[in-house]
Amino acid sequence: MEHPENSEEYKGLTVNSGVEQPSIINPYLRRDRFRRKVYTASEMVEGIIKGDVTILSQAVTLVESVNPEHQAKAQEVIEKCLPYSGKSIRVGISGVPGAGKSTSIDMFGCHVLDTKGGKLAVLAIDPSSERSKGSILGDKTRMEKLSLRPEAFIRPSPTAGSLGGVARKTRETIILCEAAGYDKIFVETVGVGQSETACHSMVDFFLLIQLAGTGDELQGIKRGIMEISDGIVINKCDGNNVDKCHMAATNFRNALHFFPKPESGWLPKVMCYSGFYGMGIKEIWDMIYEYLDFVKQNGYFEYRRNEQSKYWMYETINEQLRNSFYNRKDIQEKLVDAERRVLNGVQTSFAAAGDLLNLYYEKLRTE
């Protein structure tokens, strides 16, 4: 059988007619046409600043990569984008599974684009499997209206085991999105818990979505998540659920009075809405912009941004030290033996950790 690349049809000619026909793309000879272009760091920065979504997506992929070469290039891109960042409104959105976060974000995003204009980036964090380490990354499919808006950029990312369900590189992705002209950033987290402080440390307003009838309103939900919330909204306030939602809102307001006054001076508000029917959306965004005006006037907005930068500097140091320790071949070899001694009761966990750290420091001194 004749190979396709030797066929006359693949050379743009019809054998019988002798008349030149439009060229047919030869998948064997022209495969390089479909290869994604590899941009330099400078080209990436130029494309990001121009608002090229394709280049922005490639840059985010670089940021999320664990490849050392990719990381070096990503850091160069981030450094060059830094002067163009910092001009957005960053909103963190969290809530229990099933609270309707994705549906709410769909409605929130369309509302804020229609009323305020500009561009919106949604960084949706998807939980990774502890077994396969994979993620569905299906948040975009539940944001049907927003995904059709050309001024919206929706990027699902895996948690990859990072703290609080917030992807490790989300903060750096925010910088890239801001440089690309996105003046509104939503960060959707996996769920609720004490570790959601990771999300709180990269946004200007932290919104907690709750449901009525879960029992959390009776115990003031989880104290940690309540204390960092700037606003609490109760979803699915429609149909026969309206009275329950308003009762839950009253209980949440009462619970908030038992907490110390927030550092910002703002008393978190509790509101009800329906994400499915789009009721109460305007009131929520009026509250968010009221908060932003409040903290900008009293100076807390800039103070919080500075504290966040300092927080992530220390987090990066911790991460780099952890990677430096675990990626050393000599440490990896000793870890197996240390685990065996601990499991056999020959050595305590603390002593084994001390020996490994001493070995690590000794190796660093001799290099």
278: left (phi over 0), alpha (psi -120 to 50) or beta: left
Q: What is the pLDDT of residue 121?
A: 96
At 340, the amino acid letter reads R
Cβ-contact 94, 192 below 8 angstroms: yes
CA 199 to chain centroid, in Å, comes to 9
Distance CA 146, CA 141 (A): 10
State the Rg of the chain over Cα: 26
What confidence tens digit (pLDDT) does each residue in 91-105 have? 999 887 788 888 899
What confidence tens digit (pLDDT) does each residue in 169-205 have? 888 999 999 999 999 999 988 654 544 667 888 899 9
CA atoms within 13 A on the CB side of 40: 2
Cβ-contact 273, 283 below 8 angstroms: yes
**Residue 282: what are its φ and ψ, rounded to 5°?**
-60, -45
Angle between helical axes of 53-64 and 170-179 (0-180°, round to 10): 160
Contacts of 53 (CB under 8 A, 6+ apart): 153, 180
Whether the pTM exceeds 0.85: the reply is no
Residues paired with 187 in a beta bridge: 92, 123
Q: Are strands 89-95 and 120-126 parallel, antiparallel or unpaired?
A: unpaired
What confidence tens digit (pLDDT) does each residue in 345-363 have? 999 999 999 999 999 999 8
